[in-house]
Structure 1
């Protein structure tokens, strides 16, 4: 069975990659970065097939945005790899150390997971991002991309593997499952004897399927129903600028704003200008009763709208009477991803920062910054919305576990 062979090879090679020096890993990453840009036409040709198939199949605009590659995005992929080489290698880093009264010296150090499986949809850039972080953190990786990006993923994986081979590194440190049958995906989730941790990236349906069907420990990356709360003490000009960026820069990403919450005391000054800005960018506004009349062209929001990740030119609006009500609303409907407050009141900002339950909470900034690249992690493996074992953008350290090293001098237990 091809899947079984892939898993066996990954389990064998994980010990090889754990022994690589930091310099060997960094040199290989730089070689892969160069290969990605050198072979960009090969990758773009493959991506065009996927994109054309998506258009012919009626793929949603937000999904097409995730799928599409261009020279700029390939350059960003390569730059992500180069940034990873500049990051500290976490492997072997001492987290803490202490000595027991009996003289035992105990240290806690970072170690790789071993084999990481990643199941993802649409975004072919994940192929390079996932490789760079898993490789630098001393792990082997098995990739299972979606059928919609299969040609792109095959091309990117080939470029990576060829570059690794030229560096004298076993290319099986990164493998792609090319079979797009769903039964193979489900079987992959059962490979507990070979895969140490599984990370899903994609739709709520994909993540739920992995969590419910996997026998492998899962780090859950979640969807993003991200809110922006405009407080009564907000700078309106600043708020409009931030909302435009968070909502419209890229609609098909999990850190895009999907929901607006606004304080009732500022709604008459703010909402007409907000509505005008949204019309300029062709964003449909789904408003509650208290805000509906202040936004030209708005449609009535339903209860479902407040909890929905649109990945589209749509935003919901909810009016509240206090920051406490805003926090309660956000905690009820959010997905634990990224939330923001626009306010010039420091005390209110602190209440929001403390009260909102999410991986990333912003004051006077766009939610679009929730990203490993923007946080200085280089590429990212995903945004974890759970609380074990990682939360928020996942970089190198989040792809490690730890072990204890205990050094004695003949001690025995009484």
Structure 2
């Protein structure tokens, strides 16, 4: 009975939050650019002030990741994001093409639903709140149950900051009694115009099945190829920095390292020197069994954990200071568990003969759960980077840490915690999602060509029927027939 009551309360709360947020959004839609910027600046300020406390809350509640890295993510999702989106025109006339006499006007989408993952709960909430307000949308969050407290706190802080700067009350909402019923209600309710889904594959598929527009992101299974011209110490440093960043909880983090035979020993030595531990086949098997549950889903107790914790959980001993665990794999798929996505400090390690074999392996790995997302290559050969640009992903990250590169922290990509995988990965966009994905654009188009003076010449009824210009009319045919008959008669008389 208690569960039944909880579910009813959960669904009713969701309906109330959605109605309130939709009313607030209707008001926000009337705001001008100056008003919106004032609101966002205050949200960024509050996010900065609470970056540390929110990071601590997230780690304490979920057990995932590292406090210092979650602090960075909270600041990246606010201060860095703001600097990038500040010049974006998302209100009123955003383009006036004098030549083609075409005016483009931005309109908000309406009320958004934000699905929040347990791996990046506070930073994703901050990020989605800010891009929603920038485009004059309201947003209601569905938190992951295991990250409820920190997600709820981040959403409250963002709402209070927005309201304090002039936004309508309840412009940012969050379900406080999460349940599948509440999430489904929010996905399908009339008030929600667009869903932004960040989470597991099942949740993203559910968002796309809700019968309304959705921006979902698929999983990443990022291969990192160290090509023979690479700066090996730098490549290894970047991979370790990326894989240990928040203990591998970002979906753009590397999952497999691929090296050519000619570099194998050198790369292995460099990994060992920088804190990598190469597991024996037996140790690899123990870790793999501990990492995954059925259908290669990750064991939640191993997500975002340090190498030491994972080793201890698997009953193996590793040197003090070990940063990442590497397990050699000789194929992709069921028999090779480390060929799947691992949101933690474990890497698969592959050796190939040459770059062509590396190409084939990258495609197999991507098809094993990462199509459309990201690929990492370390090379000093620009032509080689372009060869790998042909692979089925939308982010080819060159000579950088993949986690930081994919979200735009170390590259020129748009700062984002929603990384689209395009149609290849089942997503509606291949972009790093920004406020520009959250607006409708209406167009005022003036006539610039007088098509009335370019009509084809008029034809007779017969010409129209025959479809041939200059065709003979029925009267003309009868006239010729009569003349022939008249001639024949005269010949007969003679």
TM over 0.5: yes
Aligned match of 1:356: 391
Cα shift at 1:84: 5.5
Using a 3 Å threshold, how does the CA distance of structure 1 residues 377 and 319 change in structure 2: closer, same or farther? Answer: closer
- Once residues 112 and 372 of structure 1 are traced to their aligned partners in structure 2, the CA distance between those partners, rounded to angstroms, is 25
Which ranges in structure 2 are unaligned for 5 or more consecutive residues?
1-11, 278-320, 456-494
Cα shift at 1:333? 2.0
Tell me which residue corresponds to 2:325. Answer: 284
User: CA offset at residue 275 of structure 1?
Assistant: 4.4
For 1:22, which of 33, 37, 43 is the aligned residue? 33
Aligned to 2:138: 140
Report the TM-score when normalising by structure 1: 0.81
Maintained 8 Å contact 2:43/2:130? no
Once structures 1 and 2 are overlaid, which stretch shifts more, 116-125 or 166-175? Answer: 166-175
Change (3 A) 1:162 1:345: closer
Give the number of equivalent residue pairs.
383
1:322 Cα deviation after fit: 2.9
TM-score (norm 2): 0.69
Corresponding residue to 2:362 among 322, 330, 349? 330
Are residue 10 (structure 1) and residue 21 (structure 2) matched?
A: yes
Determine the structure 2 residue equivalent to 1:386: 422
Say whether the 8 Å CA contact 2:407–2:414 is kept in structure 1.
no
Distance 1:171 1:303 in 2: 52
Q: 1:303 aligns with which of 336, 354, 364?
A: 336
Correspondences of 1:62-81 after superposition (within 5 Å): 64-65=64-65, 75-80=75-80
Contact 1:89–1:136 (8 Å) recurs in 2: no
Stretches of structure 1 that go unaligned for 5 or more consecutive residues are: 100-104, 291-300
Give the 3 Å change call, closer, same or farther, for CA 276–93 of structure 1 in structure 2: same
Deviation at residue 257 of structure 1 after TM alignment: 0.9
Aligned mates of 1:304, 1:97 — CA distance in 2? 58
- What do you get for the CA RMSD once the two structures are aligned? 3.3
Looking at structure 2, the residues matched to 361 and 137 of structure 1 have their Cα atoms a distance apart, in angstroms, of: 28
* Distance in structure 2 (CA, Å) of the matches to 1:267 and 1:323: 13
Q: How far apart, CA to CA, are the structure 1 residues paired with 2:241 and 2:217? A: 23
2:260 to 255, 259, 263: 263
1:93 matched to which residue of 2? 94
Q: Look up the match of 2:214.
A: 218
Deviation at 1:194, TM superposition (A): 2.0
Relative to structure 1, the CA distance from residue 96 to residue 285 in structure 2 (aligned partners, 3 Å threshold; closer, same or farther) is farther
Q: 1:326 to 1:401 in 2, by over 3 A?
A: farther
Distance 1:283 1:37, change over 3 A: closer
Confirm or deny: 8 A CA contact 1:26 1:85 kept in the other structure.
no
Aligned-residue offset at 1:37: 4.6
Residue pair 2:363, 2:392 contacting (<8 A) in 1 also: yes
Moved more, 153-162 or 372-381: 372-381
Shift of the 370–407 alpha-carbon distance from structure 1 to 2, 3 Å rule, reads: same
Q: Secondary structure at the match of 1:337?
A: strand
Q: Deviations over 1:231-250 (max 9, x none)?
A: 12222222222222222233
TM-fit CA distance, 1:382:
0.9
Aligned to 1:227, what secondary structure does the other structure show? strand
CA 372–111 in structure 1, closer or farther in 2 if over 3 Å, else same: farther
Shift of 1:329: 2.0
Question: C-alpha deviations, 1:181-215, integer Å up to 9, x for none?
Answer: 12111222222x2222111112334323433x422
Mapped contact 2:338–2:348 kept (Cα < 8 A): yes
Q: Aligned partners of 1:265, 1:80: CA distance in 2, in Å? A: 40
Distance 1:412 1:10 in 2: 47
